[in-house]
Amino acid sequence: MTLLEVRDLEVTYAGGAAAVRGVDLSLAAGQKLGVAGESGCGKSTLALALLRLLPAGARVSGRILLNGEDVLTMRWGQVRAVRWAGASIVFQGAMHSLNPVHRVGDQIAEPILLHRGATAAAARKRTGELLEQVGLPAARASAYPHELSGGQRQRVMIAMALACDPRLVIADEPTTALDVMIQAQILRLIEQLVAEQDVGLIMISHDLAVLADTCDRLAVMYAGRVVEEGPARQVYEDARHPYAKALSAAFPRIGDRASRFAPSGLAGDPPDPSALPSGCTFHPRCPVALDECTVEDQPLRDAGQGRWAACVHAGAAVPPPAGPTEDARSST
């Protein structure tokens, strides 16, 4: 059975922001799915929706099947159990997610005591094991969050997420704000844990390069929708949707001469989710838009080889936008 199956998920915040619009995703145990997109495209909203952690007033519809059970229709008691034992989230910004006045060991032990019904001694033992599993000495259990470095705190967050052996781990920007060396260590750690424990991983980041390196598949979001989905490397190296292509081009590749000339960003801003443009929401910024794009939105279309893109050009290579010719570029 598929570990996670999301169908037609929609989230609209109380103020009217349509933050997630008709998202479909699926994930098998042991699979790593990356979710990428610009700030405000709905990545965190999607993550919060998966575990019913959205603020009161948010309207949610669709289906979120975790091991075949719909999270959206579960009773609260069951949702609370699922949040640790079924699926867990590693939030961005470990300093803000950990309680500053409690020792980290007590914070890791809490869900083990609550959801596993463990004795205090067993929870302490398991906490030590978890800390060692994420590369910290068990003795660090007695530290307060401010006594740890940013990378160590993020390891504590990962230990907490693993405390009750979840089948699904959602990591929302787990390495943003960490330096590149620590970022690489944390990513390798997450990869290793996923491989050893056969859990499913949803890794959220604005950094396509990191996701292409870490994940099996990649979903690129724009204005609340998945606009491209496919094998991670292929999406990163040869995107079918113009937005995914622009996002990918924003990351220069070492050794690739052409990428020196790639645009460093995309003109314009993502749309306001309370006042989305008509047709394809990307059309005001799209360098290859057709007239019909202002009126017709595109569903995800089969772009071949297990790839999906929500664009009239899907199935063919994205036509190059108007710009300097190859000759002009090579003379620079």
Ligand X SMILES: Nc1ncnc2c1ncn2[C@@H]1O[C@H](COP(=O)(O)OP(=O)(O)OP(=O)(O)O)[C@@H](O)[C@H]1O
Q: Kindly list the residues in this chain that would bind Mg ion in the complex (CB under 5 A).
A: 43-44
Given the complex with ligand SF4, which of 84 and 243 has the nearer CB atom? 243
CA-nearest of 213, 206, 209, 207 to 190 is 213
Does residue 55 belong to the site contacting ligand X (CB under 6 A)?
yes
Q: Label the pairing between strands 168-172 and 200-204.
A: parallel
* Cβ-based nearer residue to Mg ion, 51 or 303: 51
Scanning 15-23, 80-88, 127-135, 243-251 for contacts with ligand X by CB under 6 A, the matching segment is: 15-23
Binding residue (CB under 6 A) for ligand X from 22, 42, 151, 271: 42
Which of ligand X, Mg ion, ligand SF4, none has residue 273 at its interface (CB below 5 to 8 Å by kind)? ligand X
What phi and psi, each to the nearest 5 degrees, are found at residue 268? 85, 175
Of 95-124, binders to ligand SF4 (CB under 6 A) are: none
- Pick between residue 173 and residue 228 the one whose CB is nearest to ligand SF4: 228
CB 329 within 8 A of CB 261: yes
DSSP string, 290-310: -GGGGT-----EEEETTEEE-
Among residue numbers 262 through 281, which ones bind ligand X (CB under 6 A)?
273
Which of ligand X, Mg ion, ligand SF4, none interacts with 124 (beta carbon under 5 to 8 A by kind)?
none
Closest approach, Cβ 43 to ligand SF4, in A, equals 19
Q: Rounded to whole angstroms, how far apart are CA atoms 160 and 190?
A: 13
Name the segment binding ligand X (CB under 6 A); options: 12-20, 69-77, 232-240, 308-316.
12-20
| Contact present, 171 and 202 (Cβ < 8 Å) | yes
Q: For residues 306 and 294, what is the distance between their CA atoms, to the nearest angstrom? A: 28
The yes or no reply on residue 153 touching ligand SF4 (CB under 6 A) is no
Q: Is 313 in the site for ligand SF4 (CB under 6 A)?
A: yes
Give the interface segment with ligand X, choosing from 26-34, 40-48, 189-197, 302-310 (CB under 6 A).
40-48
In terms of Cβ atoms closer than 10 Å to its own Cβ (0-12, 13-18, 19+), residue 113 is middle
Q: Which is nearer to Mg ion, 43 or 241 (CB)?
A: 43
d(CA 180, CA 186): 10
Name 27's bridge partners. 4
Task: State which residue, 242 or 271, has the beta carbon closest to ligand SF4.
Answer: 242
Query: In residues, how long is the chain?
Result: 332
Q: Which amino acid is at 18?
A: A
Among 22, 27, 32, 44, binds ligand X (CB under 6 A): 44
Closest CA to 38 of 191, 210, 265: 265
Separation CA 305–CA 176 (nearest Å):
31
Question: Which residues in the 238-277 window bind ligand SF4 by CB under 6 A?
Answer: 241-242
The region of 59-67, 245-253, 256-264, 289-297 touching ligand SF4 under the rule CB under 6 A is 289-297
Q: How far apart (Å, rounded) are the C-alpha atoms in residues 326 and 332?
A: 10
Q: What share of the chain is helix, strand, coil (3-state, %, to 5)?
A: 40, 20, 40
Q: Per rule CB under 6 A, is residue 49 in the interface with ligand X?
A: no
Min dist CB 213 to ligand X, Å, is 19
Residues that bind ligand SF4 (CB under 6 A): 241-242, 280, 282-283, 286, 288-290, 293, 298, 311-313
